[in-house]
Structure 1
């Protein structure tokens, strides 16, 4: 189909009738901000494919310029540039916006000299056609990521009327505009006045402080915990989410006779005292300090530093029952000997621990100190999604490189502090900028000598900076913080010193000039800048990414991804998500370095799984089950299920030193459920097993099964019910797998007995095992429950869920075939009614004989595909593929599955049903031996989504 016809049918699909073929790039579409995509993502996609762009946008805010700069910097490397037409209407655009726009070398900014310029249009030139996104959205963070905005994306050929109209209007704007210059900006800045904003009335002394959206459920959880008889509890809450006020509300609710607050720094103790008094009230004499300088022994609410409190002389003056409520702030420190002396001495009615980061690098068990009672948890991502923290704009840029020499873990100090690297770092910091009139930045580097030299060179370059290390006194550290907040310093350069316990709300830049050794530390450092502050709309996070082995930790930390799934981590680099209104951007070279690191690491190694297991064991105070990993997100249960070195989770527990005793039969049953069913891609077998395990007689009727399936919204048919029988009787696996069948590998005996005339019932040998071995019963029930939980990610009303991943074995089962024929299937198998086709887009051996999309996806939905060779049009399987019913519909339904390359594993994305394009079928000669094959164009019934197109078919 030629391009003109494709465009015509795409337009007819969008504006006339869905009966015409659509096109994911060309069909007119309404673009909005929803869970599956934002207006910004649409603009990103157009930018990455256009030859030039022209935007006419009235209102712009600096909060979207950071991710725009990252994208345009990569476009500049490809020679792509654009024009931005904007103006000074209503004085909305601040002088800072224009100053930041002038930093972008491949953006020609023009000021429109027209009264009431209020346009919101984004036009992209693709050569023989253009795409326009026009609607209500200005170039602001709220409009492009969050607000209810409508925009129409429409494409038109160069000779189309709409194209001519847009070109004429843009030309008119250009004629009445003038370039943005430093002189114009100086005059604008002198005359500009900020727009009046609606401000909340200041809180009066009498106005009560009420719990926020995080604090309300946390308080309820603490009340329930204490009501259950617990004497200790832990709250995990991201920095900046109101942790101190939460503690005050909790203490107020408990009405203690005397209360003790413990922390490691006097400054924090003083601030907390003031916050508690604002919440609880009462005379000043009720509140006191116990520090090196103050000893208010008789205060009802006593705020103490651990250094003073843990001294033997101090403890001798305070009886164990002195306080009935003790709160330990920064509770991740509570494993230290000084804190342990407090736990050994005091006997309150309740201990409350509060921390933003319970995970400790020294592996001390913080959860155990609070009896594994995790009362409530709000991590960084949830707090950002809820708008409780200042949003961030993260940019991963490549670190300095000269003559092919890359920064690594062993790079010498001389190179790290060279004038050229310092110049490069300062240029990047200036280009990406910050929110506010002056930078207030925290820079993390790798060595103390590096910190001191960088601070010196930054200062010499006109950016006042100071280095702080663990050799500096607390007083000097505090002085540096005060100077930074006062604007006397621009940067503090440190070496992991300010990961925690430092409150600098005005920070507007966090610069990472070191290797990421730990996801925990990365999150701590990123979080330093996220506390809200008047006038701070966002914080810029600039990460200089060298050639480090641990680069793979970056996407995991940013997205709080502990799944250990390499493909998911790869997607988070190639298509970074937004978190609330925070954005993540990777420059192309930086992304390549992270992907190289991912390719070299085994995230599912036994060592990694052991670490995750131990961490969750600490958190729960017991051996975690598979379902615990699903609930708490330490590792996806799929990592255990799909690990080729583990037959089942019981085997993993044994490797961890747990006393697991399973017979050969029990191991085989557990391995079958783990390897075949836990992935949850079809819930039917799991629903039946759940019914049978829960039934006193381990039996149920077919009517009960059908009712349970329909209750889950699962489809039911005679074919799928027969398939369930084939799976659970193991007859589906009666195919050779080496010297024995896979049925034999799973023990050979059926799990469920059902001949179609009587009820389903568990096999007698399985029933006996469940009664004889409680461990086995627990592990089998856990595997079934985990599979049912994971099945929620799939649409059970259909065989396959669009854009989910399946391997060949999954497809054989979900097509209700009686045998697993995945091994000899290779690229496709023509069944009586359905034909799955599996395509690897990039063949590792360079023989791209399989169907190949055009990288540009010119038609958006079709591809050329070839049968095996030798095949002819007269071959039986080809004839079955081409056969149609009397109504013209194909007799065999084609299901299309695609993966990017063999490197991503065995899983293919389901792209939906496809049809054979009429007139496209012909015999061709392929390869060096010129063997005959039949080629045809497969057309997706549903146009490919932007995300899957970029993930599977484009260079990222």
Structure 2
């Protein structure tokens, strides 16, 4: 008997959840038998279950009480579907129940999936699971046996009616009460080990200290373990005296507990310095800034050898400045979730611009530093029409959102999707105070205990409601708010977030989402319900969820149609069809490179900058979800020119009248984003010193990365000396540096320019932005020569620069193949036109994730030297580097290529041109493969 068979595993290419949803959409009936059903997994299947119910498709589900892992809540929710019959196999100590089978009946066959996955979020999406799918005719012996076994189990199982579920729920509650003391886990404090983020931070801090740096900043999302990281670093560093500073006593107490937990045998004393405690003589002092600022002179300036400043974005304020300027520790560590610039200064400058680590939302999800979220994008009701509303017109927006029918719709969806845990603990984000007050009043009127909180409420009022929300015995469930709950209000147990206003900023969206992502003992995921209206900027939601600051419309569209498959772990993102189609249409209609769009992006960012003009590129490093300022540079040749133009800023325009300053800023901007860091490390040093030799350059570069070769440093010096510019470039570009006897110096005009502090500040900003962004994207790795990172973006000329090409770099363009010695660079366009439908039938294409078919230029023969180097590259020691892009242009802008690594020719045919089959050294990741191959 012939079967169709395949193995389903959870990976970046596929998962069982997708397979189950597809199968449910196509079947005529279904039968599940699983040992466990948790609400975390069931919530992901609620919409498919509703859809099959509406189509009249019936199903049977068997689960069990084995090990008491099945949720009563999941049983209750399943029992509400009138198309599903639900039974429970009641186990005892002797008899276990381990089945994991999903059976789908079709008009002409059956599909059976049997393996290891229960209905839990991790089993369906992220665990290491093996599930085998077999498709066969109804009369196949295998199918008959499966159905027979299923029917026997069904007959043996108990109907899960309301009485059974209530009894089971009460049993689980009593079990929880009686086993409370047994759930404690023995933990030896000596063996708590750092997570991946903490290890990277500690390694980078070590490297910075090794090269003489005395300050550093760590940027990581709330709840990702920054305090533990600092304690691990202190444990390794072993200071004699430590000072830990923060602005709130509550944070301070938790920090002190963390240090005491991780350093139990350190023979150090731990003390608090606050309004109520004056334990100044302790070895490790944990102080509030309010108290410390009144008494820091009582310590000698060198008393502490290690200082930690938590929530370091506050450290630019005057109360901190006196303290920071007074003490002279060997090392100072700053930690923050959001490195916001305030009026009083720049937090990066405070820590000598040394960012030891930056962890944003997607990395935090990947490293499991925060909990996953289940996001449901729901099309708002028709009676709320926002198509002609300016989102900034808060009064009109509020008026249109205050609809009773909408409140009922929100409650209906909230009850349909539910949340993790018995009690709802919800934050609802509204358009205005009036909207938040309305929502709280309407929810209260319907019996849902709610309150509206906003900026003018006192900290005491906020904390009172937060305590009530966290209390499982209190019936209070909802806080409606406008402004983001900043670090002053932290509610770890939040299990539901309602997005009740149109998103007009990816930054705000991510911050609101982040309020519910902190880990908590009683939740395994966050439910996010986003009510998506018909306003003209709904695509901003997709930008926020996509998690990439650097996107184009094609990658965004692919992310949407694949359900944001690139988002790691158990996180689930689901948009209904109407929202999805609306967003795709908007993306098609929008030109992301138009001045109109770029101005809107800029002014939205300015609004989040407290209305201050963001003069500096590093301002864009403050927020997860910030716009990419490189787009502004591309439009006007430098960021300052863009700001001067959109702000009609006379002072900036006057600054830019200085020809050398303007051309220097343009020259530095043209190098952004950096593809290697060497040049900018050299320039940063030369801003303050007259000259630099190769050895000094190496020492400075090694502060940033693990290794660098001498020839690449020399090549960087030669590049800064304009060795590889053509005659036209030399005429039009400023000469900023001069190389003589292997020593690089500033030219006299550039040195004089830097004497002007304002000019220097803007030049330094471009350099720091380049370095920070490079560190973020390339980390501390050494990429060798050629200096290529897999799946990064490159232009043709970059390959000359990054392979230490010693001739004019501008000549490195032309046909699809360029060479530097035995390094061959293949540049490939998958489609000629912006529209796939209009594209020519190219021979260049992916055969699968690890094989690519490439066609040489028309005049290449197999017998020629170049032909031989291509078809016998491996035996001739020739490296074939592949650079691929889907389209040459999008939105009238030339697209970059993506480096997919090296490959070897394994088959070839024809000539003039030769068609070559290349096996890639690295399998292309599923998300990128989808982006290249899916047609939207």
Q: Taking structure 1 as the reference length, what is the TM-score of the superposition?
A: 0.63
Q: Deviations over 1:607-636 (max 9, x none)?
A: 489899999xxxxxx9999xx99xx99989
Distance 1:418 1:623, change over 3 A: closer
Distance 1:350 1:63, change over 3 A: same
Q: Deviations over 1:190-238 (max 9, x none)?
A: 445769899563447x767554443334234323323433232111222
2:829 and 2:197 mapped to 1: Cα distance?
48
Q: Deviations over 1:528-548 (max 9, x none)?
A: 222222232222222233334
* Match in the other structure for 2:69: 92
Distance 1:471 1:811, change over 3 A: same
1:332 maps onto 2:309 in alignment: no
Alignment of 1:50-199 (within 5 A): 50=27, 53-72=30-49, 79=55, 81=57, 83-90=59-66, 91-103=68-80, 107=84, 109-111=86-88, 118-125=98-105, 127-156=107-136, 180-192=160-172
1:570 and 1:239 mapped to 2: Cα distance?
30
Provide structure 1 residue ranges, at least 5 long, that are not aligned to the other structure: 1-7, 16-26, 616-621, 680-695, 697-728, 730-742, 748-766, 797-809, 818-834, 852-859, 861-895, 914-940
2:44 and 2:285 mapped to 1: Cα distance?
47
Secondary structure in structure 2 of the residue aligned to 1:134: strand
Preserved contact between residue 898 and residue 910 of structure 1 (Cα < 8 Å): no
Quote the offset at 1:567 in angstroms.
1.9
Quote the offset at 1:792 in angstroms.
2.6
2:788 and 2:632 mapped to 1: Cα distance?
13
Residue among 273, 278, 284 paired with 1:289: 273
2:339 and 2:793 mapped to 1: Cα distance?
36
Q: Deviations over 1:242-261 (max 9, x none)?
A: 22233334445555555433
Quote the offset at 1:447 in angstroms.
1.7
Secondary structure in structure 2 of the residue aligned to 1:467: strand
Which range is displaced more, 90-99 or 268-277? 268-277
* Match in the other structure for 2:491: 504
1:49 and 1:157 mapped to 2: Cα distance?
16
* Match in the other structure for 1:43: 20
2:507 and 2:890 mapped to 1: Cα distance?
32
Quote the offset at 1:353 in angstroms.
0.9
* Match in the other structure for 1:271: 254
Quote the offset at 1:30 in angstroms.
1.4
Distance 1:595 1:359, change over 3 A: farther
Quote the offset at 1:147 in angstroms.
3.0
Alignment of 1:801-816 (within 5 A): 813-814=815-816
1:60 and 1:462 mapped to 2: Cα distance?
30
* Match in the other structure for 2:413: 428
* Match in the other structure for 2:347: 366
Preserved contact between residue 653 and residue 660 of structure 1 (Cα < 8 Å): no
2:344 and 2:529 mapped to 1: Cα distance?
29
* Match in the other structure for 2:378: 397
Preserved contact between residue 357 and residue 520 of structure 1 (Cα < 8 Å): no
Residue among 403, 407, 414 paired with 1:418: 403
The structure number with the bigger radius of gyration is: 1
Quote the offset at 1:326 in angstroms.
2.9
Preserved contact between residue 269 and residue 284 of structure 2 (Cα < 8 Å): no
* Match in the other structure for 2:521: 534
* Match in the other structure for 1:494: 481
Distance 1:639 1:47, change over 3 A: farther
Distance 1:124 1:640, change over 3 A: farther
* Match in the other structure for 2:243: 260
Alignment of 1:657-668 (within 5 A): none
Q: Deviations over 1:581-632 (max 9, x none)?
A: 22222222333344345445554567489899999xxxxxx9999xx99xx9
* Match in the other structure for 1:551: 538
* Match in the other structure for 1:454: 439
Secondary structure in structure 2 of the residue aligned to 1:87: strand
Distance 1:307 1:624, change over 3 A: closer
Preserved contact between residue 9 and residue 128 of structure 2 (Cα < 8 Å): yes
1:837 and 1:247 mapped to 2: Cα distance?
47
Which range is displaced more, 482-491 or 511-520? 511-520
Residue among 542, 557, 564 paired with 1:570: 557
Preserved contact between residue 29 and residue 106 of structure 2 (Cα < 8 Å): yes
Alignment of 1:722-871 (within 5 A): 792-793=790-791, 813-814=815-816
Distance 1:120 1:334, change over 3 A: same
Q: Deviations over 1:483-511 (max 9, x none)?
A: 12222122222222413243322222222
1:351 maps onto 2:332 in alignment: yes
Distance 1:170 1:363, change over 3 A: farther
Provide structure 2 residue ranges, at least 5 long, that are not aligned to the other structure: 609-614, 646-651, 677-693, 695-723, 731-739, 751-765, 768-773, 795-811, 820-827, 842-847, 849-883, 906-918
Distance 1:129 1:950, change over 3 A: farther
Distance 1:358 1:902, change over 3 A: closer
Preserved contact between residue 829 and residue 887 of structure 2 (Cα < 8 Å): no
1:581 maps onto 2:551 in alignment: no
1:521 and 1:147 mapped to 2: Cα distance?
31
Preserved contact between residue 113 and residue 131 of structure 2 (Cα < 8 Å): yes
Preserved contact between residue 263 and residue 329 of structure 1 (Cα < 8 Å): yes
2:57 and 2:343 mapped to 1: Cα distance?
50
* Match in the other structure for 2:881: none
Distance 1:426 1:838, change over 3 A: same
1:40 and 1:635 mapped to 2: Cα distance?
33
Quote the offset at 1:563 in angstroms.
0.6
* Match in the other structure for 2:859: none
Residue among 439, 442, 459 paired with 1:474: 459
Quote the offset at 1:561 in angstroms.
0.9
Distance 1:180 1:654, change over 3 A: same
Which range is displaced more, 945-954 or 175-184? 945-954
Q: Deviations over 1:269-315 (max 9, x none)?
A: 23323333444468997512233x555555554433334444xx556
2:268 and 2:97 mapped to 1: Cα distance?
57
* Match in the other structure for 2:202: 219
Preserved contact between residue 503 and residue 538 of structure 2 (Cα < 8 Å): yes
Residue among 32, 53, 56 paired with 2:9: 32
Q: Taking structure 2 as the reference length, what is the TM-score of the superposition?
A: 0.64
